[in-house]
């Protein structure tokens, strides 16, 4: 297993544990919304900011964040290849309404 992937996984796990201890176990629950060519699309509950999705690519330990409205990558962009970036953007554009509904259901004001 890739050493960078293990480090990233451990870091994410520590973060989720810390948040769960502070806010309760449901705070950052990650729900799989869908996938495209190995990229897993997640919507988190208790998330903050503008509606966005998290994109995981376990093979490379990638975790990127994309806005739902503009399909713009806002975090972890450098870890996605250009081809993967475009695939995720097309997925968002095709599923925007459902993604927004899921975001609003998981993150009520």
pLDDT digits (tens, 9 = 90+) for 41-64: 989 887 888 999 999 877 666 788
pLDDT at 22 (0 to 100) = 55
Where do the H-state alpha helices sit in the chain? 3-23, 82-106
CB 105 within 8 A of CB 44: no
Specify the pLDDT at position 29. 66
Q: Report, as ranges of residue numbers, the positions in the chain whose pLDDT lies below 50.
A: 26-27
Q: What domain range includes position 28? A: 3-106
Per the structure, the count of domains in the chain is 1
pLDDT at 47: 82
- Give me the pLDDT at residue 81, please: 79
Read off the pTM. Answer: 0.70
């Amino acid at each position: 297993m890739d050493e960078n992937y293990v480090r990233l996984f451990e870091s994410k796990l520590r973060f989720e544990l810390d948040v769960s201890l502070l806010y309760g176990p449901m705070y950052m629950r990650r729900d799989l919304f869908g996938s495209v060519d190995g990229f897993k699309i997640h919507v988190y509950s208790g998330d903050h900011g503008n509606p966005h999705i998290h994109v995981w690519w376990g093979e490379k330990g990638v975790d990127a964040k994309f806005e739902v409205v503009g399909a713009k990558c806002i975090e972890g962009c450098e870890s996605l290849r250009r081809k993967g970036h475009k695939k995720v953007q097309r997925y968002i554009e095709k599923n925007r309404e459902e993604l927004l509904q899921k975001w609003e259901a998981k993150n009520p004001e």
